[in-house]
């Protein structure tokens, strides 16, 4: 399959008047018969998107390990012994090389992630140069750097950053069971600063961390009730890493994960709903159901931050099998 220059096709939220979603209403969506839920999600998906097009994003860890947060799922936390080697921040040239390789493989968005609680002044100087350089390739840019202040969000806006990722992770009521070094409001405050600066928001969560159905619904309600809701919503299935507190968590039923994708699509009709971490453990059939449920974005490439991801050849084969294509490769 030949690659072409990726067109930036942005969600248009002005076409939809967002509604407020109670946790109870979202939970009722989860409880719909599977066929009814899928049909409703697919109808909404087709109202706003090409149902066979998928947005490809590649994620690079620009600074790995040694994070001072204690997130129970994260192998990069300094609190855990997950065997992740601490690595200093990459040079701008290394980031550009990785971005160009991702672009040549068909990715249209390049995401840069750093393992720290919040960036320092020196960190920001390097990140700003990275954003400018990747933007210069003609790619959409995204960064996930932890908490930001107003000055930092303005620096990123001026550098041309398109999206800032800061996941809510889970529902407010379950958050304290997963993380103790920051609170939920810290997450909300950073996202509000990103909005105020005029950048797009990328925010989602992780399911399969031991949360119950009401808490899973609470995560979706939190996201859907943002004003406006995120333009990009990554839904992650917990990747269990030995040495982290959640390593022995019971597996989430794959159909419950598909339901989460469908509910995200229904409650956030114009968002890019990204099928994110955990795909390497999913069968082609489960991924196909996720696309049918309204997922239209994936992380593309054989590595996420520190965990594995399906390789490019597998993803291309799956897209060919399903008759799907990146946004700029319409047949």
Catalytically active residues are 67, 71, 74, 111, 142, 202, 274
- For 83, list phi and psi in degrees, rounded to 5: 80, 15
Which of these, 3, 15, 1, 8, lies nearest to 228 by C-alpha position?
A: 15
Distance between CA atoms of residues 328 and 331, nearest Å: 9
Q: Is 237 helix (H, G, I), strand (E, B) or coil?
A: strand
Which of these, 201, 75, 76, lies nearest to 144 by C-alpha position?
A: 201
In whole angstroms, how far apart are CA 99 and each of 1, 55, 93, 319?
20, 16, 10, 22
Report the greatest alpha carbon distance in the chain. 52
Q: In the chain, count H helices and then E strands.
A: 11, 10
Which of these, 266, 251, 240, lies nearest to 37 by C-alpha position?
A: 266
Number of other residues whose CB lies within 10 A of the CB of residue 219: 29
Angle (CA) 54 55 60, round 5°: 135
Q: With residue 110 as reference, give the H or E element that holds it.
A: strand 109-114
């Amino acid at each position: 399959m030949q690659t072409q220059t990726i067109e930036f096709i942005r969600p248009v939220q002005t076409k939809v008047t967002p509604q407020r979603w109670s946790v109870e209403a979202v939970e009722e969506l989860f409880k719909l018969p599977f066929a009814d839920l899928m049909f409703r999600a697919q109808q909404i998906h087709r109202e706003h998107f090409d149902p066979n097009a998928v947005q490809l994003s590649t994620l690079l860890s620009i600074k790995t390990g040694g994070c001072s947060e204690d997130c129970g799922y994260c192998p990069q936390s300094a609190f855990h012994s997950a065997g992740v080697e601490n690595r200093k921040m990459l040079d701008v040239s290394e980031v550009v090389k990785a971005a160009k390789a991702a672009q040549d493989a068909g990715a249209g968005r390049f995401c840069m992630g750093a393992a720290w609680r919040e960036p320092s002044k020196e960190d920001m100087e390097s990140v700003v140069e990275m954003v400018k350089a990747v933007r210069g390739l003609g790619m959409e840019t995204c960064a996930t750097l932890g908490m930001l202040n107003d000055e930092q969000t303005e620096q990123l806006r001026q550098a041309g950053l398109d999206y800032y990722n800061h996941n809510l992770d889970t529902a407010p009521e379950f958050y304290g069971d997963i993380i103790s070094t920051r609170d939920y409001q810290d997450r909300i405050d950073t996202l509000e600063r990103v909005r105020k600066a005029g950048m797009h928001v990328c925010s989602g969560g992780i399911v399969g961390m031991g949360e119950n159905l009401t808490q899973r619904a609470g995560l979706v309600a939190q996201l859907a009730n943002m004003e406006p809701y995120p333009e990009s919503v990554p839904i992650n299935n917990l990747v269990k890493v030995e040495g982290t507190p959640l390593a022995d968590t019971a597996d989430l039923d794959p159909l419950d994960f598909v339901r989460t994708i469908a509910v995200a699509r229904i409650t956030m009709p114009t968002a890019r709903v990204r099928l994110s971490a955990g795909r390497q453990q999913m069968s082609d059939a489960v991924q196909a159901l996720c696309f049918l449920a309204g997922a239209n974005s994936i992380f593309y490439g054989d590595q996420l931050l520190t965990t594995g991801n399906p390789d490019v050849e597998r993803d291309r084969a799956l897209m060919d099998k399903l008759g799907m294509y990146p946004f700029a490769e319409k047949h």
